[in-house]
Amino acid sequence: MTAIALTIAGSDSGGGAGIQADIKTFSALGTYAASVITAVTAQNTRGVTAVEDISPGVIGAQMDAVFSDLSVNAVKIGMVSRSETIAVIADRLQAIRAPIVVDPVMVATSGDRLLQEDAIAALTHLLLPLAHVVTPNLPEAALLTSQPIAENRNEMIAQARIVLGFGARAVLMKGGHGEGAESVDYLVTTDEVLPLSAPRIDTRNDHGTGCTLAAAVTANLAKGLPLAEAARKAKAYLQAALEGGRELAIGGGRGPVHHFHGWWQA
């Protein structure tokens, strides 16, 4: 039976992050991609120039259309910039038993803020308790926990435990914004801490890395993999997409990773 993954996120007109990155990742990993668009961004490799939110009514209608017809095996939530958006998504997900991955897209790779200040409380109180896993990067974890940006393993794990306190079952702390020769993520649950390490790749093409990793976790969960294995395989897929994307020449800023590195070379 075909595994179906649903992404609930914003559209990136440049194609490197958001809905576009999620659909590419789902497809590359052998899952059928469904989507609910929460916002439209005017965005390219250089940054975000405009954002227009989709109305909560239309977001809810999209979710109703998907869930009334498709047997969704996993859900990924990305850019949800307003508290009203978060409320309608949380309401529709109450009865969903599929794994839910929350990627708290709060700051773009370019540094542009994508989540309104008053929506942080709604995110932590309404969506995080529904999450099988939350996948913040270091700046996002700092915003979620009202802490300085973590600078080492102990601080990353401590912030992950704060996020667990919001009700999430697991936290995948993404270490891509850190320093050093190794990029280390930590999968943290109440019972264990699992480090996921890979050599840090020197490349300008890293737009959409966070979306891609979270989408890969979602695709793997949709196929029935346990969380730890889903996270390991997602890390390996992103690493290959970063390596395969070194030579991509797309745009004048931070280009995208190569989602289809297994099918064609840059």
Average pLDDT over residues 103-123: 72
Confidence at residue 114, expressed as pLDDT on a 0 to 100 scale: 61
In a domain, 266, yes or no: no
Give the predicted TM-score (pTM) of the model.
0.95
Distance from C-alpha of 103 to C-alpha of 249, rounded to nearest angstrom = 27
Q: Are 7 and 218 in contact (CB under 8 A)?
A: yes
CATH code for the domain in which residue 131 is found: 3.40.1190.20
Return the SS3 of 173: strand
> What pLDDT digit, counting tens, does each position of 218-247 carry?
999 999 999 999 999 999 999 999 999 999
In a domain, 249, yes or no: no
Residues 221/132, Cβ–Cβ less than 8 Å: yes
Domain that holds residue 168: 4-244
Whether pLDDT at 195 is above 90: yes
Query: Which amino acid, residue 146?
Result: S
Is 262 a member of any domain?
no
SS3 assignment for 5-48? EEEEEEEECCCCCHHHHHHHHHHHCCCEEEEEEEEEEEEECCEE
- Amino acid 264: pLDDT: 92
pLDDT for the residue 215: 98
The number of domains in the chain is 1
In a domain, 184, yes or no: yes
- Domain for residue 34, yes or no? yes
- How many Cβ atoms sit within 10 Å of the Cβ of residue 2? 11
Span 5-33, pLDDT tens digits = 999 999 999 999 999 999 999 999 999 99
Cα–Cα distance, 122 to 124 (Å, whole number):
6
Any domain includes 88: yes
